[in-house]
């Protein structure tokens, strides 16, 4: 049982040996804690964006990345990238707005609604990031197969030898394994970081419900 739960029990018992805490005191404690959690969700999402931005710039000089940049794929890559940034900007705005809204909330019912809204936004953000990563990898493989001379030559050789099915089967298998590994690592990261924050936020929500009883 955490400190807030103990204080709530003491508050309800009305024992003289404990300092008297009003409903408002307990509410303010939950509000402060919830506001801090939502602020960290916003900060971590920004840090995550900066991390991937640094990684993308760092990998620009890698041979494979240079080869991919030389392919005639801007008509696909640029719109996909712009779309990704727009959606991320939308989520950053939502996280910031959730933080500001919770920070000034003065009603328990409204705070509970905002906590639920924040949890929903985080889940949507995680699903979007995982889906975008999966789509990006699949699109990248398709571009390689259709634009990269080396990949095209390999596909033609496989077709000439009657091994086209085997060739594309290997491509699909390798892509699927890479997807599972990368998505799995990302999911673990989200579960550890955002999952921890959401569990704390959910605990605050339950405490508010008890406080309203």
Average pLDDT over residues 33-52: 91
Full domain range(s) for residue 171: 22-212
Our count of domains for the chain comes to 1
User: Looking at residue 20, what is its pLDDT?
Assistant: 55
Residue 114: closest CA among 129, 138, 97: 97
7 in any annotated domain: no
Which tens digit of pLDDT belongs to each residue from 5-16?
Answer: 555 555 555 555
153 in any annotated domain: yes
Report the first-to-last Cα separation within the chain, whole angstroms: 19
15 in any annotated domain: no
Q: Residues of the chain with pLDDT > 70: what percent?
A: 82
User: Is residue 66 over pLDDT 80?
Assistant: no
User: Looking at residue 8, what is its pLDDT?
Assistant: 53
4 in any annotated domain: no
> How far is the C-alpha of 84 from the C-alpha of 129, rounded, in Å?
9
> How far is the C-alpha of 12 from the C-alpha of 15, rounded, in Å?
8
User: Is residue 81 over pLDDT 80?
Assistant: yes
155 in any annotated domain: yes
Phi, psi of 100 (to 5 degrees): -65, -40
Per-residue tokens: 24: 């408002």
Q: Would you put residue 132 in left (φ > 0), alpha (ψ -120 to 50) or beta?
A: alpha
Average pLDDT over residues 71-86: 84
User: Is residue 2 over pLDDT 80?
Assistant: no
User: Looking at residue 72, what is its pLDDT?
Assistant: 74
User: Looking at residue 18, what is its pLDDT?
Assistant: 47
Average pLDDT over residues 36-59: 87
User: Looking at residue 206, what is its pLDDT?
Assistant: 86
Average pLDDT over residues 18-25: 63
Mean pLDDT of all residues belonging to the chain: 83
3 state DSSP class of 69? helix
Angle CA 137–142–145, to nearest 5: 125
14-28, 94-108, 176-190, 199-213, range with greatest mean pLDDT: 176-190
3 in any annotated domain: no
User: Looking at residue 94, what is its pLDDT?
Assistant: 93
User: Looking at residue 207, what is its pLDDT?
Assistant: 84
Which tens digit of pLDDT belongs to each residue from 167-208?
Answer: 899 999 999 999 999 999 999 999 999 999 999 988 888 888
User: Is residue 89 over pLDDT 90?
Assistant: yes
8 in any annotated domain: no
pLDDT-derived band at 209, boundaries 50, 70, 90: confident
Average pLDDT over residues 114-142: 91
69 in any annotated domain: yes
What's the whole-model pTM score?
0.80
């Amino acid at each position: 049982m955490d400190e807030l739960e103990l204080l709530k029990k003491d508050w309800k018992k009305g024992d003289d040996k404990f300092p008297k805490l009003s409903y408002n005191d307990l509410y303010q404690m939950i509000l402060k804690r919830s506001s801090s959690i939502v602020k960290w969700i916003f900060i971590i999402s920004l840090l995550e964006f900066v991390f991937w931005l640094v990684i993308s710039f760092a990998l620009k000089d890698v041979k494979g990345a240079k080869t991919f940049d030389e392919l005639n794929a801007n008509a696909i890559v640029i719109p996909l990238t712009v779309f990704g940034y727009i959606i991320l900007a939308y989520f950053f705005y939502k996280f910031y707005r959730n933080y500001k809204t919770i920070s000034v909330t003065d009603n328990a019912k409204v705070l509970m609604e905002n906590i639920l809204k924040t949890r929903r936004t985080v889940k949507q953000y995680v699903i979007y990031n995982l889906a975008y990563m999966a789509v990006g990898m699949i699109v990248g493989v398709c571009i390689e197969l259709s634009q990269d001379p080396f990949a095209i030559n390999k596909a033609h050789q496989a077709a000439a030898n009657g091994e086209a099915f085997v060739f594309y089967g290997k491509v699909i298998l390798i892509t699927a394994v890479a997807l599972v590994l990368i998505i799995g690592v990302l999911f673990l990261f989200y579960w550890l970081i955002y999952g921890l924050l959401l569990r704390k936020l959910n605990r605050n929500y339950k405490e508010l419900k008890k406080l309203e009883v």
